[in-house]
Amino acid sequence: MQRNLMVKTIVIVATVLLCIYGIIGIPTSKAQLEANLQHNIRLGLDLRGGSHLVLQVQVQDAMRTIADHAMESLKMEASKENIPVGGTDRNDPQTIEQADSIQINVHGVPAQSSGKFRTLVAERLPEWNLTPVNSTDYKLNLKPSSLIDIKRRAIEQSIQTISNRVNALGLTEPVVQQRGRADADYEILVQLPSIDDPARVKDIIGQAAQLEIDEVKEGPFASQEAVLQQKGGILPLNTKLASWITPGGTQWYLVSRSPVVTGEDLRNARAGQDEMRKWEADFTLSQEGARRFERFTEANIGNRLAIILDNQIRSVATIQSKISDSGRISNLSSQQEASDLSLVMRSGSLPAGIKYEEERVVGPSLGADSIKQGLIAGLAGLAAVVFVMLFYYRKSGVNAVLALLLNTIILLAALGYFSATLTLPGIAGVILTIGMAVDSNVLIFERIREELRAGKAPVAAVDAGFGKAWWTIVDTHVTTIVSCLFLFLFGTGPVKGFAVTLVIGLLANVFTAVFVSKTIFDFELSGREVKAVSI
């Protein structure tokens, strides 16, 4: 019994120390203590202040771009196959609701060339459905699956590009995520803590990142000065400098000023593995980009290419063979690097325009007031609970108070360890957790009282009380956790914060109300004969 009690005590003490470390770390000064608290307990936009924007991706722009590329490709391929085409045009959808109606019209195809023309469209433009209007005219409409895929990619690429833009601000926790339903709203939520200038944010988001694949002329160099010194202070004609930030420091390369292909020539990019199971980034080019890339790589086997985003090199690779419409950047260190590079290549520029649906500034004074009111509410509720527990359950109430305080410490530590963000709804979750923690203790204490009234000895009554209350506590917590799961799956950011905080508190409550509280009772009742329990 004593050995088992000692093991439980060690577990509780270790948990407390681990939680305190997760909240304040190992501070050596008051300033470091405050810094550790700010780093570990992250505050959301509603508490810290900042900018809140809702953007709508104008997917009709992406549809028009796709249609323009398809028309150019169609005319070029028809010319190669000696198929006369009188002209092409498209409609001009202006709203999101009209995006699905994108249509290409083809005029003046001779009747004797209709078979060859149908074959050409089927092979070169498989995303489009071809429908004859009359003997010489046709219309092309995107297939439903292609429409869905283009919209999805427009949202994903917009989110990634905007993330790249706002990350340049050096923020620790910007939020850039989809808002609403992708097939109806096409909205992106952007929250930037500590940034109270929406005009600046809009300017940064509006910039279009420039993605290029350039020929590497020379490099790497340790600095710009080293390049200029070697070149006599003047860069060679049609070259420019690009930097590559690596773990070992910044390197500089001399690259061609004219890119081989740009982000507009990329159709897709994804992470993959080669024959040796090493990670790589596979990319696919448009037909026009593929032709240029094929000619260049065939003539430059053994030379190097640089993937450049906003004049920042992301990867340098050696041309191993002729590449046409697809290629790969091999020898990447991990799946994460391959995925990140693929995302960068896909998101070199915004695929569609953006419209600002909502913008507002949350001032830090509002956040400070929210924190103050939340703390007052929490402390008032805690004080009332402590008073009632001590008054009603006497010495056993001390047991409940200790478990309640540990529950709060575990909750805050979990937020720090999981890098979760504490929002105002999260504070509400903390307060609700306090109530549910007390509820668990009340269930246990009332069970113990029933056992004592039935004539059982104190030790047997405590054991029976915890045993019989256990499944009731599990049932109540599981049903609440299931509700929180639905809130997390279908709710927005603040609602998710509430759900996460409440779930963490509930899990901590099971540990404190059952394990910790039982250990305290065992400690009080062990080693001596006890005739009564103060409860």
Percent composition of the chain: helix, strand, coil (DSSP 3-state, to 5): 55, 20, 20
Query: 50-209+347-360 has which CATH code?
Result: 3.30.70.3400
pLDDT of residue 207: 53
**HEC sequence for 371-384:** HHHHHHHHHHHHHH
More confident residue, 370 or 142: 142
Length of the chain (residues): 535
Out of 110-114, 192-196, 277-281, the most confident range is: 110-114
Q: Are β-strands 304-309 and 279-285 bridged in parallel, bridged antiparallel, or unpaired?
A: unpaired
Residue 192 β-bridge partners? 51
DSSP state of 133: S
Alpha carbon of residue 139 to chain centroid: 40
Domain 2-48+363-525: assigned CATH number: 1.20.1640.10
Of the listed ranges 131-145, 266-280, 352-366, the least confidently predicted one is: 352-366
Q: CA-CA distance, 513 to 479, in Å (whole number)?
A: 17
Residue 158: which of 347, 334, 23 has the closest Cα?
347
Residue 254: which pLDDT band, with cuts at 50, 70 and 90?
very high
Phi and psi (nearest 5°) for 440?
-65, -45
User: Start-end ranges of CATH 1.20.1640.10 in the chain?
Assistant: 2-48+363-525
Residue 216 has pLDDT above 90, yes or no: yes
Residue 477 has pLDDT above 70, yes or no: yes
Residue 252 banded pLDDT, cuts 50, 70, 90: very high
- Across the range 415-425, mean pLDDT stands at 77
Highest mean pLDDT among 45-59, 192-206, 273-287, 384-398: 384-398
Q: 88-99 pLDDT, tens per residue? A: 888 888 888 888
- Of the candidates 412, 417, 436, 416, the one whose C-alpha atom is nearest the C-alpha of residue 484 is 436
More reliable by pLDDT, 294 or 164: 294
When mean pLDDT is compared across 153-157, 220-224, 323-327, 482-486, the lowest value belongs to: 323-327
Q: How far apart are CA 332 and CA 349, in angstroms?
A: 23
Fold of 211-325: Gyrase A; domain 2 (3.30.1360)
E strand residue ranges, 274-321: 279-285, 304-309, 312-318
Q: For the chain, give me the number of helices (H) and strands (E)?
A: 16, 19
Q: Please, which pLDDT band fits residue 365 given cuts at 50, 70 and 90?
A: low
Measured between alpha carbons, how far is 162 from 179 in angstroms, rounded to an integer?
A: 14
Q: Quick one: which of 409, 343, 288 has its CA closest to 161?
A: 343
Q: Angle formed by the axes of helices 144-167 and 335-346, to 10°?
A: 100
Average of pLDDT values for 73-100? 85
Most confident of 80-84, 270-274, 419-423: 80-84
Q: Where in the chain do CATH 3.30.1360.200 domains reside?
A: 211-325
pLDDT value, residue 60 = 86
> Would you call the peptide bond into 220 cis, given omega within 30 degrees of 0 as the criterion?
yes
Spatial distance between the Cα atoms of 447 and 258, rounded to a whole number of angstroms: 80
* Nearest-angstrom CA–CA distance, 496 and 272: 33
Taking the C-alpha atoms of residue 525 and residue 459, their distance in angstroms, rounded to an integer, is 7
Query: Token digits for 281?
Result: 């980034």
- Which residues of the chain are in CATH 3.30.70.3400 domains? 50-209+347-360
pLDDT of residue 2: 63
Q: Which residues of 67-85 are buried (b: 16+ CB within 10 A; e: fewer)?
A: bebbbeebeebbeeeebeb
Residue carrying structure tokens 């007031």: 369
pLDDT tens column, 12-47:
889 889 988 888 888 878 888 877 887 777 777 667
Report, as an integer, the average pLDDT of 443-451.
Answer: 88
Residue type, 230: Q
Q: Is the pLDDT reported for residue 328 higher than 80?
A: no
**DSSP H or E segment with residue 346:** helix 335-346
Specify the amino acid at residue 173. E
The better pLDDT of the pair 332, 58 is held by: 58
Q: What is the pTM of this model?
A: 0.52
